[in-house]
Amino acid sequence: MNEATIINVEGLPSAGTAPVAVTNAPIIAPIKIKTLTVCDFRAFAGPEPVTIALSGKNLLVYGENGAGKSSIFHALNEFFSIELADAAGRQARFTNLRNRFSALPPSAGYIEIELDDGKPAARWDQARHPADITPASDARIVNGAYRKAILDYRALLDTNYRHGSGVVNLFDVCVGVLLRDYPVVIAGGTEAPLISLWQKLEGFAAKARDRTRPHLRKKEIDEVNVVAASFNQGLRDALDHLRPRIDPLLFELGWDDLSVISFGFPGVTYDNARLKTGREFEGRSITVGLTFRGTSLSSPQTFLNEARLSALALAIYFAGRQVCAATLQTDTPRLMVLDDVLIGLDQSNRLPVLQALDKHFPDWQIVLLTHDRVWFEMARFHLADRKDWNALELFEEIEPTGGSRPVLRPQNIDAVASNIATARKFHTAHEYPASAVHARVAFELSLKKVCERKAIPVRFQIDPRKLTTDDLLNAIEIWLGEPSRVAMKSAVDPAIASLRMWRKVVLNPFSHSTPVSLTAVEVIGAIDAVEALHQAFRDHFR
């Protein structure tokens, strides 16, 4: 094995496989991804494997188009997957997803995930997938595949846009994604995931359409009816649990004018038609009763704007995960990966999504991927004080051979600390103007964060470019001057006084594009002052 490049950044059962049992185990310290290693998969051509060290934390990823962001999404989605019916299908899938410019032999590529449970890493390569039953499937990966919430913007289309102008039908979405792991009580009092019952029913229908065999026998028809009854009851129960969770999520996402009032599901029944092509299950329909400002909408996708449709889709998906989360096993990875699912929302409606994730999925491992730089920085600003988040930037580098490779740049989730670190690197390289720019950015972000967190009133400017760091710093000092904040003021004042010493030369509003006299001592003094102010704010402004 080649030495890995380490980037430190603090489903369905196979054919013949018994359904994975769903138990009501208590939720205690779920396992999370420690490292993700990729080699010769989509944008990651190799020959050196690239390892992203998640360390059990959530991850915010910014990636330029073509830089490998979607490759990370597909690596996690395909790894935690048992959608293909057999091992050969999963092996062929890996071959199809290899990097087209790779000079490595097919056997050299792989994806490997190490979980933080102390057990050996699981690997997917051309030879086998962790869900394969030969020699033995990895229960952690199989169960994680059932419970995953891995969505991109295309998945959101399934709840609205792809239904044209007709009635929305969520049957495939509910059975295949939203509620696939909902536990259904079957004969004998045992439980099985909803999707496994549907797979069994589809298997009977496939047999009935097989031109080489006769109609289903009476014994088989009886079994179909028993399984269908369990499936129908299980799906109705799941929908009953799903519906009341959606409206509160819509409210939290900022859209209290939408309401899901009902789901319509007639139940599936087998049509043992005379012609083999007609032997199918009828009743594969789940309709949505939806109101907008109290008025019923039969085709919301033709009336609602993109922001409301996106919020509705997210609320439905989040509610589906909530419904099934109560039965998660302790050795099941709770993985949520969202790839640009917020592009239909404007910036003001994106932060509520972060807040909803924090409130409803605190024990899940969340990976947010985006190509929107502004949103990436907004999210970092919001998550700056969190210890359970890291950040990563991806850029595309064109190689002399004509191919390209992802360049991964780990970032501190705290943008202030990140800019301070960059300022110190430039200072070490004697690039004093560049160092001063990053110190100034850190200074500005630190002030903005305090004003935003503490709702400190700042002098209004129609043109935000005219808002200066003096305006922010003065507003903070006025706020600290209130009698109730004497202790806080005395703790922060020394850091403010030290910073003002460097305010005129190093931390001025200009980028130092023209020659200026910046000494190493002045620049490092300014960096130290900004860092001290940032730390004082963190210690006393929580």
Q: Which CATH class is domain 155-332?
A: mainly alpha
What does the pLDDT read at residue 459? Answer: 85
409: CB partners within 8 A, 6+ apart: 392, 393, 394, 395
Confidence of residue 51 (pLDDT cuts 50, 70, 90): very high
pLDDT tens digits for 390-445? 999 999 888 776 677 888 999 899 999 999 999 999 999 999 889 989 999 999 99
Q: Is the confidence at residue 111, as pLDDT, over 90?
A: yes
Q: Please state the rounded mean pLDDT for residues 299-314.
A: 85
Q: What is the distance between the alpha carbons of residues 206 and 85, in angstroms, rounded to a whole number? A: 14
- Tokens 């990729």 locate to 38
- Extents of the domains making up the chain: 1-148+334-413, 155-332, 415-540
Q: What is the distance between the alpha carbons of residues 372 and 269, in angstroms, rounded to a whole number? A: 46
Burial of 116 (0-12, 13-18, 19+ CB in 10 A): middle
Could you tell me what percent of the chain has a pLDDT over 70?
85
Which overall architecture, per CATH, does domain 1-148+334-413 show?
3-Layer(aba) Sandwich (3.40)
Q: What is the distance between the alpha carbons of residues 195 and 197, in angstroms, rounded to a whole number? A: 5
Q: What is the distance between the alpha carbons of residues 224 and 523, in angstroms, rounded to a whole number? A: 76
Half-sphere exposure of 311 (CA within 13 A, CB side): 30
**Helices 218-252 and 306-325, axial angle in degrees (round to 10):** 120
Other beta carbons within 10 angstroms of residue 512's beta carbon come to 17
Q: Is the confidence at residue 112, as pLDDT, over 60?
A: yes
Cα 374 from chain centroid (whole Å): 17
What does the pLDDT read at residue 10? Answer: 45
3-state secondary structure of 115: strand
Which of 59-63, 166-170, 291-295 has the lowest average pLDDT? 166-170
313: CB partners within 8 A, 6+ apart: 156, 159, 160
Q: Please state the rounded mean pLDDT for residues 39-54.
A: 88
* Secondary structure element (H or E) that encloses residue 60, with its range: strand 58-63
pTM confidence score: 0.83
Q: What is the distance between the alpha carbons of residues 269 and 106, in angstroms, rounded to a whole number? A: 45
Q: Is the confidence at residue 221, as pLDDT, over 90?
A: no
Q: For CA atoms 352, 355, 360, 363, give the dihedral sign.
A: positive
What does the pLDDT read at residue 257? Answer: 92
* Secondary structure element (H or E) that encloses residue 42, with its range: none
DSSP secondary structure code for residue 348 in this structure: G
